A and B are shown apart, each in its own frame.
Chain A
Amino acid sequence: MTLELTNIKKALSLLFVLAAVSSTQAQEKKKDVGEIHGNFDLVSQYYNVDTLIGAPLVDEKIRMNAFSNLIYTKGKFSAGLRFEAYHNAVLGFNDQYRGNGIPFRYASYSVDKLDITIGHFYEQFGNGQILRAYEERGLGIDNVIDGIRVKGSPLKGLVLKGIIGEQRNYFDEGPGIVRGFDVDVQLNSLLKSLETSKTRFSFGASAVSKYQQDNNSTYTLPENVLAYSVRGRLIRGDFSLDGEYTYKYNDPSLDNNFIFKDGQSALVSAAYSRKGLGITFSVKHTDNMFFRSDRNNNSVFNDLFINYMPALTRQHTYNLAATLYPYATQPRGEVAFQTDVIYKIKRKTALGGKYGTTIAVNYALAYNIDTVSLNDRNSSRLGYETNFFGVGDRQYFGDFNVEVARKFNKKFKAKFTYIYLHYDMEIIQGLGGKPNVHANIGVADLLFKLNKKHAIRTELQSLTTPQDQGNWATVVVEYTYSPHWTVAVMDQWNYGNSDPTDRLHYPYLTVGYVKNANRIMLSYGRQRAGIFCVGGVCRVVPASNGFNIAITSSF
């Protein structure tokens, strides 16, 4: 606590200095002494007990999360910090977020072709399967690295990066040290002869290693764990091909039950696109790719992950499809396929109508990997053997969806979505004994523009399934008065629950006001327990009933 306060004091004095410097600037004008900018975000909830939906008694009654970033820039120099406050963290967040702190502060500058950062930094090598330090504030994910980063570009088309540090773990740092090196080559920029070539090549390679002391009494564990990856991209005209392969040496951890098997992951994507048509096909194989800077942490909150495993599925945005059965990537092992097609029927044609019609089709599948158990628990502890090109016999997830969007006239736009889901609850949500869910989802999203500034948007959603909680219906009506006001009402109704006492309504009212980059939203009602996702990562949100306020602001 004292340490925290000292940090806060230090940071505040820094702020005062910066503020003073900038105020002087406001008076003197001409001289460039830099700029300060930042943002602010606050979420607070008042909790009512609601035994019907399972909303528990919250001792504090009110909980709040807030943060503010402040960044100072002057030419090639930049420094910043983030103040975070949790009094206490809203339900669904890890309660290790508690109290105030400055868990993010950095300074960086560039000279010639060199960039140096000290303190906290976010970083990604390739597509992140080997290393990705990132933040998803709304999910409580932040595995930022605190240390040193040096980036250089000695030649045009060549970028080298080196990093070392420890990862953030709430208001603390993880026990492991992360070291990494990455090289990225854009061949067409590097080689004069290829500068005008229609074919663009690029490739890269990374090595990441972590160190953590071995204090395990049962096994002799590797203290240094190395991973490497190679990647390449080829673009010719409308066509592109991308691939990345990652290999990780033995990394026994709580996640993989301390087996000594090496891990690997491969992701290949091909895409074709031209005016009015886009096609993407991707395939992925992942095996034993938990990579955290603490082998003894297997928290469901994604603590201390060094790498990021993207899910190869469409990220749905409509409430029922997005929060009841979303897929989460399985670092333990999965084989996944995805095809995505978008086609725009031309405007002013019989089929396309006056403004054109967009059709999007997406098909995604995920299976377990094809393995043979070695039964070597008490000897080599490799666990199992994997057939790299095989597909297992258990389907984790399947999603076929079609979306048709059309603007009928200046006053009316509509989007219709159909989704079929296959969802393995045992694997994806870790709920033993639950059946596979097969669900059909339909959504009609209708936008009526009343005049220049007033509009009404409605969503009519239906989810039908014989499994789990049965059928759901959702209605959303949103009235907007541009550029400031929004009023929205939503009701979710679990009308098909097999238990009649659980056939509940979840009404929710929201009023929002926006002015430029400042927004305030007040909501009241019931929130269903569900899974809230951003990017590819999800957070389980418990049921709640009450009043919610959200403020966001940037300057």
Chain B
Amino acid sequence: MKTFISILSLTLLISSASFAQSESRKIPEVKIQNINGVPFNTGSIENDGKPIIISFWATWCSPCKRELNTIADEYPDWTDETGVKLIAVSIDDSRNIQKVKPYVNGQDWDYDVLLDPNGDFKRAMNVNNVPHTFLVNGNKEIVWQHNSYSPGDEEELYELVQKLANGESIN
């Protein structure tokens, strides 16, 4: 019985996955904080009809920092060429949350940074672990996502950003 239920749930999961992907998906509205700890509603994430990258990270996550530091070197070119905006959502809890802003400034990142200390936005976006990156099109629809980071992944991401900026579909 138990196995049956497990298999059933899995089938259901996969079938729901297939139809969910064909539809547009909006950024869920969750109340988190901006980098100064001021309440911020994720429904207000905006980039004037240009693409947005939402990247979940933490100060204790090496691959996350590797990804964001690599993109930081290219970021001025990315924004010039496509108008893309990167929003780095830190899931650090109160152990490290005080270090987020000093880290961001210390690394001289030009990203918008949000704080999600209790994982509310992370949960709403169904993120299992960091790094997890989402790509959002000009209509504020999530069109692509990626888990983990390997050197070179930023190239694939940027190709997709360029497609979006040119008004092409990426699916």
Chain A residues engaging chain B, CB cutoff 8 angstroms: 5, 8, 12, 15-16, 19, 22-23, 25-26, 35-41, 68-71, 73, 76, 78, 83, 85, 87, 99-100, 110, 115, 122-124, 127-129, 132, 134-135, 137-138, 151, 159, 184, 186, 189, 200, 202, 233, 235, 238, 240, 242, 267, 269, 271-280, 282, 308, 310-312, 315, 317, 340, 342-344, 355, 358, 360, 407, 447, 449, 452-455, 457, 480-483, 486, 512, 514, 516-519, 535-536, 552-555
Cα separation A158 to B99 with both chains bound (whole Å): 26
Whether the Cβ atoms of B19 and A315 lie closer than 8 Å is no
Residue pairs across A and B with Cβ atoms less than 8 A apart, 9 shown, are A12-B8, A87-B2, A99-B2, A122-B118, A127-B97, A276-B108, A482-B151, A483-B152, A514-B150
Cα separation A7 to B101 with both chains bound (whole Å): 44
B102 contacts which of A279, A308, A486 (Cβ < 8 Å)? A279
Q: Does B166 interact with chain A (Cβ within 8 Å)?
A: no
Q: Evaluate whether A480 and B128 lie within 8 angstroms (CB atoms) in the complex, with A70-B16, A128-B94, A240-B101 already known.
A: no
Closest 6 CB pairs of A and B: A278-B102, A482-B152, A342-B106, A278-B106, A127-B94, A310-B95
Main secondary structure of the interface of B (DSSP, over half): mixed
Q: Give the residues in chain B near A129, CB-CB below 8 Å.
A: 94
Chain B residues engaging chain A, CB cutoff 8 angstroms: 1-2, 5-6, 8-10, 12-13, 15-17, 19-23, 25-26, 28-29, 31, 36-39, 59-62, 66, 73, 92-99, 101-108, 117-120, 123-129, 132, 144-148, 150-153, 155-156
Closest to A317 in B: B62
Other A-B contacts than A22-B19, A184-B39, A276-B108, 8 sampled, CB-CB below 8 A, are A12-B5, A110-B29, A135-B119, A138-B129, A200-B38, A447-B66, A480-B150, A535-B92
A39 contacts which of B2, B26, B61, B128 (Cβ < 8 Å)? B128
Whether the Cβ atoms of A317 and B105 lie closer than 8 Å is no
Whether the Cβ atoms of A124 and B126 lie closer than 8 Å is no
Q: Give the residues in chain B near A68, CB-CB below 8 Å.
A: 9, 13
Whether the Cβ atoms of B101 and A271 lie closer than 8 Å is yes
Cα separation A100 to B1 with both chains bound (whole Å): 11
Q: Give the residues in chain B near A242, CB-CB below 8 Å.
A: 98
Whether the Cβ atoms of A280 and B99 lie closer than 8 Å is yes
Whether the Cβ atoms of B126 and A26 lie closer than 8 Å is no
Q: Give the residues in chain A near B150, CB-CB below 8 Å.
A: 455, 480-483, 486, 514
Q: Give the residues in chain B near A342, CB-CB below 8 Å.
A: 102-103, 106-107
Whether the Cβ atoms of A482 and B108 lie closer than 8 Å is no
Cα separation A310 to B93 with both chains bound (whole Å): 8
Q: Give the residues in chain A near B39, CB-CB below 8 Å.
A: 159, 184, 186
A344 contacts which of B108, B144, B156 (Cβ < 8 Å)? B108
Whether the Cβ atoms of B2 and A100 lie closer than 8 Å is yes
Q: Evaluate whether A340 and B102 lie within 8 angstroms (CB atoms) in the complex, with A22-B19, A127-B94 already known.
A: yes
Cα separation A137 to B123 with both chains bound (whole Å): 12
A122 contacts which of B23, B107, B119, B153 (Cβ < 8 Å)? B119
Q: Give the residues in chain A near B132, CB-CB below 8 Å.
A: 517, 554
A38 contacts which of B61, B126, B153 (Cβ < 8 Å)? B126
A71 contacts which of B106, B108, B124, B148 (Cβ < 8 Å)? B124
Whether the Cβ atoms of A40 and B13 lie closer than 8 Å is yes
Whether the Cβ atoms of A555 and B126 lie closer than 8 Å is yes
Whether the Cβ atoms of A276 and B127 lie closer than 8 Å is no
Whether the Cβ atoms of B129 and A482 lie closer than 8 Å is no
Cα separation A200 to B144 with both chains bound (whole Å): 37
Cα separation A35 to B13 with both chains bound (whole Å): 13
A317 contacts which of B28, B61, B147 (Cβ < 8 Å)? B61
Min distance, Cβ B109 to any Cβ of chain A, angstroms: 10
Whether the Cβ atoms of A278 and B148 lie closer than 8 Å is no
Q: Give the residues in chain A near B97, CB-CB below 8 Å.
A: 127
Cα separation A269 to B92 with both chains bound (whole Å): 16
Whether the Cβ atoms of A37 and B20 lie closer than 8 Å is yes
Q: Evaluate whether A355 and B108 lie within 8 angstroms (CB atoms) in the complex, with A271-B98, A482-B152, A554-B147 already known.
A: no
Q: Give the residues in chain A near B128, CB-CB below 8 Å.
A: 39, 41, 137, 552-554
Whether the Cβ atoms of A19 and B15 lie closer than 8 Å is yes
Whether the Cβ atoms of B95 and A535 lie closer than 8 Å is yes
Q: Give the residues in chain A near B120, CB-CB below 8 Å.
A: 122
Q: Give the residues in chain A near B8, CB-CB below 8 Å.
A: 12
B151 contacts which of A135, A159, A315, A455 (Cβ < 8 Å)? A455
Q: Give the residues in chain A near B102, CB-CB below 8 Å.
A: 271-273, 278-280, 340, 342
Q: Evaluate whether A343 and B93 lie within 8 angstroms (CB atoms) in the complex, with A22-B20, A36-B16, A73-B28 already known.
A: no
Cα separation A157 to B59 with both chains bound (whole Å): 28
Whether the Cβ atoms of B105 and A555 lie closer than 8 Å is no
Cα separation A200 to B37 with both chains bound (whole Å): 10
Closest to B21 in A: A555
Min distance, Cβ A245 to any Cβ of chain B, angstroms: 14
Whether the Cβ atoms of A514 and B148 lie closer than 8 Å is yes
Whether the Cβ atoms of A71 and B151 lie closer than 8 Å is no
Whether the Cβ atoms of B152 and A315 lie closer than 8 Å is no
Closest to A456 in B: B151
Q: Give the residues in chain A near B61, CB-CB below 8 Å.
A: 317
Cα separation A5 to B8 with both chains bound (whole Å): 14
Q: Give the residues in chain A near B106, CB-CB below 8 Å.
A: 273, 276-278, 342-344, 358, 360
Whether the Cβ atoms of B37 and A202 lie closer than 8 Å is yes
Cα separation A281 to B5 with both chains bound (whole Å): 52
Q: Evaluate whether A455 and B13 lie within 8 angstroms (CB atoms) in the complex, with A132-B118, A240-B101 already known.
A: no
Q: Give the residues in chain A near B145, CB-CB below 8 Å.
A: 516-517, 554
Min distance, Cβ A80 to any Cβ of chain B, angstroms: 9
Closest to A38 in B: B126
Q: Give the residues in chain A near B92, CB-CB below 8 Å.
A: 535
Q: Give the residues in chain B near A282, CB-CB below 8 Å.
A: 98
Whether the Cβ atoms of B153 and A358 lie closer than 8 Å is no
Cα separation A267 to B37 with both chains bound (whole Å): 16
Q: Give the residues in chain B near A37, CB-CB below 8 Å.
A: 20, 25, 126
